[in-house]
Amino acid sequence: MVAATATLVLLSEWLGLGVLPAKLISILVSFVVNFSLSHFVVFRKRTPPSAPLKVRDKVMQHDDNLTAKLPNFVTHLECAMTGERHEADQIHNLSRAGKPLLVRYDLAGVKKALTKDKLAARPADLWRYRELLPVRDPANIVSLG
């Protein structure tokens, strides 16, 4: 934008060209600047990393986290205002009071089953916390990784 405006002013005022030829030349200059930026900056060849990334290694080593049968510690859903309980295995929107439903967990079970070391050994993605997510059957897990 700055290059096109500067070119337009330079051509029309200093060189005495008319507005139409100056505008056409400024469009051409703008195209050349944008093309060169996109071609040499955005589309440049990237050098591959010399060593594989540790994150890639972890993802490949821990695919069993997505397929193994693991316990789920979600006990029920609860209305944020009234405390009314709802089944966790059914699809709900808001509560009858029009408030969001909060997820409730078996915290004693979570404490026994999950340790910081177990979580740290898993890949750094959403499914690291699989036991706390509302997916009970591993066949329903969707992952892009």
Which is more confidently placed, 118 or 15?
118
Distance CA 27, CA 21 (A): 10
Model confidence at 136: pLDDT above 60? yes
- Per-residue model confidence (pLDDT) at position 84: 96
Model confidence at 12: pLDDT above 80? no
Tokens 């821990």 -> residue: 62
User: Model-level pTM?
Assistant: 0.50
